[in-house]
Amino acid sequence: MLIPCPHCGARDLAEFTYGGDATKDRPDPGSATAEDWCDYVFHRDNPRGRHVEYWHHGQGCRLWLKVTRDTVSHRIDGAEIVGPWAAAAPKQARGVA
């Protein structure tokens, strides 16, 4: 599987580390209970079809990406840089056609 890194171009899956479900909201550290954190960390859906995930390009540019992938076919519809680096990315590198 090739992941289209907006910074480096298409790269093999072996260069990346899966970072989790990008559709789940992180609990507020100031008010979250232990149960909220348990749900966030351990209780995951196993979606079939199109899904948004975090991937870390650890063997490349070291940026975090939000990747839209079909969990059945592994077809990737796009990837974008996330975090504080997203605003600094050139406009043509923010999405993958």
Domain 2-20+34-93 matching CATH 3.30.2270.10: the answer reads: yes
Neighbours of 43 (CB within 10 A): 8
Q: What is the pLDDT of residue 94?
A: 46
> What is the chain's pLDDT, residue by residue, as a tens digit (97 residues)?
999 999 999 999 999 999 989 999 999 999 999 999 999 989 888 889 999 999 999 999 999 999 999 999 999 999 999 988 888 765 544 454 4
Q: Please classify residue 55 by burial: count the beta carbons closer than 10 Å to its beta carbon, then call 0-12 exposed, 13-18 middle and 19+ buried.
A: buried
Could you tell me the pTM of the whole model?
Answer: 0.80
Q: Where do the domains of the chain lie?
A: 2-20+34-93
Locate tokens 């990315």: which residue? 89
Instruction: List all residues 6 or more positions away from 82 whose beta carbon is below 8 Å from its beta carbon.
Output: 22, 54, 64, 65, 66
